[in-house]
Structure 1
Amino acid sequence: MACYILTDNTRDRRYFKRVLVDPYFYETPSAIIHALGRLKKGQVVILDSSIRGFESAGLQTAQLIRQHDPDAQLIMISDNATMAARCFEAQIGLLDFIIKKELSPSFFDRLLRAIAKANLNLRRIFELRPIPIRLPDGATTRVFDLTRIVYFTTDSGSHHLFVHETNHLTRIRANLRDLESVHSNLYRVHASYVINIAFLHTYQPHDHALTMVTGHRIPVSRNYSVALRKALRWPSPYRGLPQPIY
């Protein structure tokens, strides 16, 4: 996963590039804040406490980031050990405060462990957070949690649908054609089925079928197979449930 790094130290950037998989560097607080403002919330951010001689620049940047993103995983690095107390007293929810120690192997070991923990925290956040969606139900609408919906199917001979949730079945008055516009994770795969692609386990194109993580096997018609294949090549940005395997 990408890491967004605030540092104006050329040497540090050179070492980070060798160790980190996907680093993005910014030399000023305004630059990194602007960049994060264009991304979805919940990013891994590494901040050098001192920027251009201002010892509290990293702390002040962390405070601004925290105001706008409660899910951001903030890691502070510093040459000054006395900054640790100031950072934790500020109650900005730092994941870790790491002394550089000339960028020793122990520093990078701790940094990589902090990044791994940050990514784990983000996965847990997204897994536990509901995603409310509003579905039509006749002349009114009803709110459901997308993270619990596996698929929809028609109620044969009626103008109703069944909403198949992980542990519940609900009947609503609606049409399948109206569902895809509700959320990008809802895909029509058959005249009688719409799936939540986040619950897709395997797709068997030769059998014209797919299997959900719940074990349900659902037919896939040729009319909708092209869109499904495209979706699997370009995964949905939605996070929080098992990703497609094919």
Structure 2
Amino acid sequence: MPCYVLTDSGIARRYLKKVLVNPVFFETPSALLHALGRVKKGQVVLLDSTVRGFATAGLQTAQLIRQHDPDAQLIMMSEDASMATRCFEAQVGLLDFIIKQEYSASFFDRLIRAVSKANLNLKRILDLRPEPIRLPDGRTSRLFDLTRIVYFSTDSGSHHIFVHEIDRQRRIRTSMKELAERHSNLYRVHASYIINIAYLNSYEPGERSLTMVTGHQVPVSRHYAGSLRNALRWPNAKRALTEPIRLN
């Protein structure tokens, strides 16, 4: 996940490029706000408190971001320790306030920990937030929560699909082909099975089966094994086919 950085300091950019995995730099608040307006909400943002000589530029930018994005993970860096009090009083919900200390080792250590925590917070937010998905059911459709769907199954040749959710099972009338096209998380792994890849725990190519986080075993057919392999983005294409892939 990228880290959006507001700073007009060339020195800061040089140092931050060495420690941040995917930094995207902006020299003005307007450029940063424009970029954030074009991506989904819930981003990691690192703000320099002073920009172009304005001591409160970072704080004012944080206030504008917070108005439109309650999930944004905001981190402030500053040479002025007193700015921490002003940020607290402004109630912009900073994840951390870090004193630069001439870009010391302790500064970078705290920054890395703050960014890691920010990414973890965003993952938790997404995991807990329902994601509505409307699935076809005969001549109508039904609303489901994608985050609760583990996999789909059907009898060969039937249009009756069983929706296996975390705590229950429901049935709809549609085709497997149409289901697989409904969301990028839905992967067909067999003529009779579609999985929600977010629930995938491990895949054992040698046994042509996979295990979901819930413990359910799902078969994988040779026909769909290639697309599943691409979806998992295996780091080594020459990995032995008998070696299981663990995702947890």
Query: Normalised by the shorter chain, which TM-score bucket?
Result: 0.7 to 0.9
- The one-letter amino acid of 2:4's match is Y
Which structure 1 residue ranges, 5 or more long, are not aligned?
235-242
CA distance in 1, matches of 2:203, 2:38: 33
Matched-pair contact (CA < 8 Å) for 1:200–1:244: no
Partner of 2:247: 245
Query: Is 1:210 aligned to 2:210, yes or no?
Result: yes
- Structure 1 position 101, deviation (Å): 2.5
Partner of 1:166: 166
Alignment of 1:7-22 (within 5 A): 7-22=7-22
CA distance in 2, matches of 1:155, 1:166: 21
Partner of 1:104: 104
- Structure 1 position 180, deviation (Å): 1.4
Alignment of 1:1-246 (within 5 A): 1-155=1-155, 158-233=158-233, 245=247
CA distance in 2, matches of 1:47, 1:177: 46
Secondary structure of 2:59's counterpart equals helix
Number of paired residues? 239
Secondary structure of 2:134's counterpart equals strand
- Structure 1 position 172, deviation (Å): 1.7
- Structure 1 position 142, deviation (Å): 1.4
- Structure 1 position 232, deviation (Å): 1.5
Give the share of equivalent positions with the same residue, in percent.
69
- The one-letter amino acid of 1:178's match is E
Secondary structure of 1:163's counterpart equals strand
- Structure 1 position 157, deviation (Å): 7.4
CA distance in 2, matches of 1:218, 1:124: 26
CA distance in 2, matches of 1:18, 1:219: 44
CA distance in 2, matches of 1:92, 1:175: 48
- The one-letter amino acid of 1:71's match is D
- Structure 1 position 128, deviation (Å): 0.8
Secondary structure of 1:102's counterpart equals coil
Deviation per CA, 1:39-89, whole angstroms, max 9, x where unpaired?
Answer: 332221110011011112111211222233221100111122232222222
Partner of 2:242: none
- Structure 1 position 244, deviation (Å): 7.0
CA distance in 2, matches of 1:71, 1:244: 30
Which structure 2 residue ranges, 5 or more long, are not aligned?
235-244
Runs of 4+ in 1 over 4 A off after TM superposition: 155-158
Matched-pair contact (CA < 8 Å) for 1:211–1:217: yes
- Give the alignment's Cα RMSD to 1 decimal: 2.4
Secondary structure of 2:80's counterpart equals coil
